[in-house]
Structure 1
Amino acid sequence: MTSTVRGALLLTLLAVLLGGCAGGGDKPAAGPGAGAAASPSATAGPAGAPGAAGAAGNFNPTDIAWTQLMIALDEKTLLLTDLTPKQTSDTGIRGMADQVGTNHRGELTGLRDLLRQASVAESNEHEGHDMPGMVTADDLRALTAASGPAFDQLFVSNMRDHLEQTLRLAQAVEKSGSEPNIRALATEIERTRTAQLDQLTALESPGR
């Protein structure tokens, strides 16, 4: 299977996974038409597995697609959380950025371990893609140029998009995934995202 075909397959799987889930943001959802711009899908892992279609154990293609997408989304959000202390004087915003950053670094460890369990080598399948829930290059430029309340507003908007989209993805893979460890992590992410969204809503409350 060529890298172009593997890339198109991954994006098709993501379109299914994201079906009905991309309405929360104004960034385009991935779909089969993006295959030509996709980087190659997962390359052979240490055991020689050929990527999503040949993942080891109980991992199905949706499990692999979700894991790769979550890695991309979490990595981009860390750029936001790492930037926040320099751009805000709001202790609540700073505290949430620190909490989300710590949480996402832990998630990334777990997600990468799952790829190793599946004998799928880590690669950035979504380089250059503006996915729903992803902090984009344009977002980062706007965030870097802002400070104080203007930054705080952008932080809340970008963080809400990310948390809501990754919550939807977790709920989707709980239904469509087959690997128990994937579904267990998705359940934990669903719990965490729900709590983080409540925390974000509290930050928006007048007179806090």
Structure 2
Amino acid sequence: MALLAVGCVAQPTAGTPPAPAFNATDTAWIQLMIPMDERALLLAEPAPSRKGDPALAALAARTGQRLREDLVRLRGLLELSGIPDTRPHEGHDMPGMVSLDTLKRAGTATGRAFDRILTDALRAHLTQSRMLCASEHTQGQAGKAKEEAAAIARSTAEQISWLDELRPAEPAASGGATPATVP
């Protein structure tokens, strides 16, 4: 339902109806997770070269590898669903999605400044991904999509734990953006 609440409704094109096993939540979840993971990957990949905390760079490398693996499976699910890759979320900045501004700031940052950008954006991405996966798991219909959502949720929980070990979450400053919640 959270996916539908943010206007994420899959839009099939004429002649390509979704496979009957995939409902609107399934396809909306897939179409949202792909660009979210792509953006997070753009932030995680340069971490080892940014002269920051080596342990955080190693976490970013592991996260990047998981994102690449998730993207392969998500694109496979999209193809299986019969929904074309129309990129309905292209250019959007949504809760948990690494923003273009964040990528721009990260592109010039090194050391502790980069680590801070990476930590904040990665934590928001992982937290939102886990919530979206919970919505897919409860509201989705396609067994394969629900299984993938459960797997991604487990993976993100593990990555959040690793991140918390390296950089415990700090209280949000008043007026800051918070991830959308699942009803």
Using the alignment, how far apart are the partners of 1:83 and 1:43 within structure 2? Answer: 37
Alignment of 1:52-131 (within 5 A): 54-131=17-94
Q: Which residue of 2 aligns with 1:163?
A: 126
Offset of residue 42 of structure 1: 4.7
Using the alignment, how far apart are the partners of 1:124 and 1:158 within structure 2? Answer: 22
Offset of residue 170 of structure 1: 0.4
Q: Is the 8 A contact 2:2 2:135 kept in 1?
A: no
Using the alignment, how far apart are the partners of 1:89 and 1:41 within structure 2? Answer: 42
Q: Is the 8 A contact 1:43 1:123 kept in 2?
A: no
Q: Which runs of 5+ in 1 are unaligned?
A: 1-11, 17-29
Aligned mate of 1:200, from 163, 173, 179:
163
Offset of residue 127 of structure 1: 1.3
Question: Counterpart amino acid of 2:57?
Answer: R
Question: Counterpart amino acid of 1:145?
Answer: T
Q: Is the 8 A contact 2:45 2:64 kept in 1?
A: yes
- Give the TM-score, by structure 2 length: 0.85
> Structure 1, residues 70-91: CA drift from partner, whole Å, max 9, x if none?
0010000110011212213321
Q: Which runs of 5+ in 2 are unaligned?
A: 169-183
Matched, 1:138 2:101: yes
Q: Which residue of 1 aligns with 2:180?
A: none
Offset of residue 144 of structure 1: 1.5
Alignment of 1:33-52 (within 5 A): 41-43=11-13, 48-49=15-16
Q: Is the 8 A contact 1:42 1:123 kept in 2?
A: no
Question: Counterpart amino acid of 1:189?
Answer: I
Corresponding pairs, count = 168
Q: Which residue of 2 aligns with 1:187?
A: 150
Q: Which residue of 2 aligns with 1:22?
A: none
Structure having the higher helix fraction is 1
Q: Percent identity?
A: 36
- Give the TM-score, by structure 1 length: 0.75
